[in-house]
Each structure stands twice: as C-alpha cells, then as structure tokens.
Amino acid sequence: EISEMSERSKQNVAHGLAWSYYVGYLKIVLPRLKESMEEFSSTNPNLLVSRKTWKLHILIPLSCDVYDELEKADSNIQYLTDLSETTLARAGTRKRVYKHSVYAIRDEENQLWHCALEYATPLQSLYAMSQDECAAFSREERLEQAKLFYRTLEEILKSSKECAGTYRLIAYEEPGEAETHFLSREILWHLRQQHQEEFPVEEETPPAAPSTTLNSAELNLQISASDLPQPLRSDGF
C-alpha cells in the first residue's frame, strides 16, 4: 500500500535519480577530481588561481532545461578544455571514460574566471518524462521533483566523506523574463564566494551582490509537505 502511494505521488522518482547520480557517477569521479585539478593547474598556473574553486560545479536548473552546449545558454560562458580522463571498467564496458570540461566565465569587467562546470544530467530525464505521455508527468510535478532531487542530492553528498570539498551545487530558478547573462552571473557569484573564503576581503569592502540561487531552506518553503517526504537538512553546501 505504501509503495502504491509513493508510486502515485511520484515521490520515488527524484529520490532514485539522486541516488543513481551519486552512486553511478559522482562517487566515482569526485574523489579523483582534485588530482585532475592539480595536474591542470600545474600546466595552467594562471587559470585556477583559487584552490577553493577546484571543485565540480554542478548546475541544477529547477526548470530542468539543460543545454548540451553551455555557450548556447549564455555567451559569457565559453568552453576551454577538458581535464585529464579517468578510465575504468564499468558494468561490462571496458575502458569507460569519465571526464570534465573547464569553462571560462566572463564577468562584467571583461575578466575571465575558470572552473569545471556541468549540468546534473538526471534533470534531462525529468524533463523528458514531462514530455512523454506514458510518464504522465506534469510541469508542476517536474518542478517539485527537481526541488526534491536537489535536496536529496545535497543531503547525500553532505554525508559522503569521499566527496567532501570536491563539489559545488548551483540550484537556481530562471527569471520570468529572459536575461541574456543570468546563468553566468549565478556561476560568478559562487566563484567569488569561494574565492573570498580562501582570501578574506577587507572589512571596508562592500559585500558582493546577493545571488538569486536557491538554497535548501528556500526550496523547503516552496514544496508542499502534504504528499512529499519530510524536508531534509538545509545547512549550506
């Protein structure tokens, strides 16, 4: 009976996607990320200047609108190169390749910031389900599931010792009116925050403009608790 109730309310969709993403991908690649970053930085010492940004920055648009090429989402985001590959035998596939791309983000003063960046790929599945009649997945349900996916993934990663300090989740909701460089501003806010954590700013320096990125506490307030699991912890990244 409980299983049927969960199936009807689709509570298990986002939860399962988050665990699959972690176990089948993040838990494999994130522990190896710092080594790849170290190697990249040694040959490109002027790019990844802050070690605090030596993380995989994972974009989580709550609309589940995922671009295969980030440049199409925002022209201020430009592909630079790939980090060194990780090759493993996985589920019967010999020499399966895992790799991450480094991007240059152009700010308002035409300066470039660099980071490893990608979308959370399970969001493509949520979007596809909302477009498929067989899944009977409405746009509203997709939004709720995207929020639940983020909260679940955040909680999983917080408890993972192997992945500590190797990721940055960037969950956001696009503005109602199209903004050409909304995404690059969101990413830059996170990069600046991390940079300031390593190199504290002087007291008289005005604080950076607040990001519109959503945190778990905000997501909890927006999700009805009537038919979803209890909210997860909401403290930080």
Please check whether residue 167 is in contact with residue 55, taking contact to mean a CB–CB distance below 8 angstroms.
yes
How far apart CA 32 and CA 55 sit, in angstroms, is 11
* pLDDT of res. 204: 44
Show the tokens assigned to 77.
Answer: 């985001």
How far apart CA 32 and CA 162 sit, in angstroms, is 10
Class of domain 1-199: alpha beta
Please check whether residue 71 is in contact with residue 78, taking contact to mean a CB–CB distance below 8 angstroms.
yes
Query: What is the DSSP secondary-structure string of 120-181?
Result: -THHHHHHHHHH-TTTT--HHHHHHHHHHHHHHHHHHHHT-STTTTSEEEEEE---SS--TT
Q: What is the pLDDT along the chain (237 residues), one digit of tens a residue?
A: 444 544 455 557 899 999 999 999 999 999 999 999 999 999 988 888 788 999 999 999 999 999 999 999 999 999 999 999 888 877 788 888 899 999 999 999 999 999 999 999 999 988 888 876 666 677 888 899 999 999 999 999 999 999 999 999 999 998 877 788 999 999 999 999 998 876 554 444 444 454 556 665 555 534 444 344 444 333 343
Distance from chain centroid for Cα 69: 15
* pLDDT of res. 236: 40
How far apart CA 124 and CA 38 sit, in angstroms, is 31
Show the tokens assigned to 228.
Answer: 């979803």
